[in-house]
Amino acid sequence: MEQKPAAVVARCECCGLTEECTEAYVELVRERYSGRWICGLCAEAVKEEMARIGSCEEALDRHLNFCRNFKNLCPPKRPTEELIAAVKQVLLRSLDSPRTKEPGLLRAQSCEPALQSGRLV
């Protein structure tokens, strides 16, 4: 019977998220990001920043600073309502943005006339 590699809990140096990973994976991530362990979500943000500026170290530093500044903000008074408003804003922007090769969210035509006439499309 094969033994699974021992799992360790790693904490993201950017956002603080913890993940259970193998030691080999933790080392792989640290090799990529100058000895720092970052979660997959922060790694994607760093990759995007790298595409803009070209330097992994600078992209990582920018993302670390962004996360620190975000954590220092006061918590919202009504977190649920503010999250809903933020998601609504993102959706509205994506609906009104120019189309690219890959379609984003598309507005559907209203199905109300079809329901009123008894037809389903």
In terms of C-beta density within 10 A (0-12 exposed, 13-18 middle, 19 or more buried), how is residue 61 classed?
A: middle
- Give the list of residues 6+ apart from residue 43 with CB closer than 8 angstroms, or none: 29, 32, 33
pLDDT per residue over 26-44, tens digit each? Answer: 999 999 998 999 999 899 9
> Where residue 98 falls among pLDDT bands split at 50, 70, 90?
low
Q: What pTM was computed for the model? A: 0.55
H-run or E-run covering 101: none
Tell me: the pLDDT tens digits for 30-86? 999 989 999 998 999 999 888 888 888 999 999 999 988 887 777 778 888 888 888
